Amino acid sequence: MPPLTHALARGAFFPRRARHGRLSAALSHRFISTGLEELDASSEEDIMRKSISAIAMTAAAIAVPAMAFAYPTQPITIVVPFSAGGPTDTVTRLVAQSMSAELGQNIVVENVGGAGGTLGAARVAQARNDGYTLLLHHIGMSTAPSLYPNLPFDPTTDFEYVGLVTEVPMVIAARPSLEHETLADVIAWVQAEGEGVLYANAGMGAASHLCGLLFMEAIGTQMTVIPYQGTGPAITDLMGGQVDLLCDQTTNTTNQIRDGSIKAYAVTVPDRLDSLPDLPTPAEAGLPDFSVSIWHGLYAPSGTSPEIVARLTEALQIALADENVIARFADLGTAPSPASDATPEALQAKVVSEIALWGPVIEAAGEFAN
């Protein structure tokens, strides 16, 4: 505690009784407003001393809340619950760079992959709620409760919500050596090969898991699933031909599709994308009811102070309005969430409504983690 605040806390500046007179009247008025009515000054010098004390105390009284909210004073860590180089990592690093400039502190991105994003989320749920450990997670926050019977955190009670960050389309992609040219051909091939086809994902609850689940449901065929700690390493294996198919966010596939290091057959949203205009929509490609896009949100551990959460929301909104962030997102087929969605209320509503939305889908698929 700073010395002045410490002294105040011990009552060191509280005089006993004020004498009458202009200065003491002024002092007593000031002290009345701060709850101290009884002053007793025995000399002008005493009054002067008390005057200085009073000014110091008033200044301290004003300064205390500001000092209590000196945030951030050290680097902030944002946990990404997937491997480096993947889409959640890419989104986080773009936003963190701009938030860091706004907050005047470094932001360190820490990748804690595994178990479809639940290990990283659990880490943040248990972290100190001092505003220095945050989580940037995606839709997996709302699917995990249905998939993991022993989930070590509760997305509805163990976090403070900072705001939505972005919603990202996905693409259905394949190794570059796959000979098929259309999604219809790929579907016929998967139906013929079944579990001979290797589908990569980032673990149960990952976006790639959900997209694969919906795809397999839609075509009525199971593939063999190869889980990774994130789709960063999964896409490396897709480029190398170690796995056959992957459904992943455009934030991790756009450049690879453009340079031909992977093949892509369709987007997973109802409209074509400006960034990848040649890719058909699911309806155009023969899967009319197929639709999935992946929202991302920023969280702090529960109990983080409202002032810190408000400051983080403000910094997030400024980052999402940053022209550089908007341009980078657009190039990767997405857009930052509008300020009206980059709020605690909007993220909380999203988490809760998506838990309800995905529960029955996952139940119907009958797929659960151990």
Residue 363 Cβ vs ligand ASP, minimum distance, rounded to whole Å: 20
**Only segment of 7-15, 24-32, 225-233, 263-271 that touches ligand ASP (CB under 6 A):** 225-233
Pick between residue 169 and residue 230 the one whose CB is nearest to ligand ASP. Answer: 230
Q: How far apart, in Å, are the Cα atoms of 103 and each of 73, 311, 315?
A: 9, 9, 7
In the window 85-104, what residues touch ligand ASP (CB under 6 A)?
Answer: 86-89
**Calpha distance 264→367 (Å, rounded):** 27
Minimum CB separation of residue 81 from ligand ASP in Å reads 8
Among 77, 98, 143, 249, binds ligand ASP (CB under 6 A): 249
Name the residue number minimizing CB distance to ligand ASP: 86
Nearest distance from C-beta of residue 259 to ligand ASP, angstroms = 19
Q: Are 340 and 346 in contact (CB under 8 A)?
A: yes
Under the binding rule (CB under 6 A), the answer on residue 238 touching ligand ASP is no
Q: Which of residues 252-281 bind ligand ASP (CB under 6 A)?
A: 252
Our finding on whether 207 is near ligand ASP (CB under 6 A) is: yes
231 near ligand ASP, rule: CB under 6 A? yes
120 part of the interface to ligand ASP, by CB under 6 A: no
β-strand pairing of 224-227 with 198-201 = parallel
CB atoms within 10 A of CB 66: 8
Q: Does 248 bind ligand ASP (CB under 6 A)?
A: yes
232 lies in the site for ligand ASP, by CB under 6 A: yes
* β-strand partners of 57: none
Residue closer to ligand ASP (CB basis): 88 or 304: 88
**Using rule CB under 6 A, residue 145 touches ligand ASP:** no
Instruction: Please tell me whether residue 206 binds ligand ASP under the rule CB under 6 A.
Output: yes
Report in angstroms how near the CB of residue 181 gets to ligand ASP at its nearest.
Answer: 25
CB nearer to ligand ASP: pick between 114 and 232: 232
Asked whether position 143 contacts ligand ASP by CB under 6 A, the answer is: no
The smaller minimum CB distance to ligand ASP, of residues 8 and 174, is found at 174
For tokens 């119907």, what's the residue?
364
Considering the rule CB under 6 A, would residue 153 count as an interface residue with ligand ASP? no
Among 31, 77, 82, 164, which residue sits at the site for ligand ASP (rule: CB under 6 A)?
Answer: 82
Residues that bind ligand ASP (CB under 6 A): 82-83, 86-89, 201-202, 206-208, 230-232, 248-249, 252
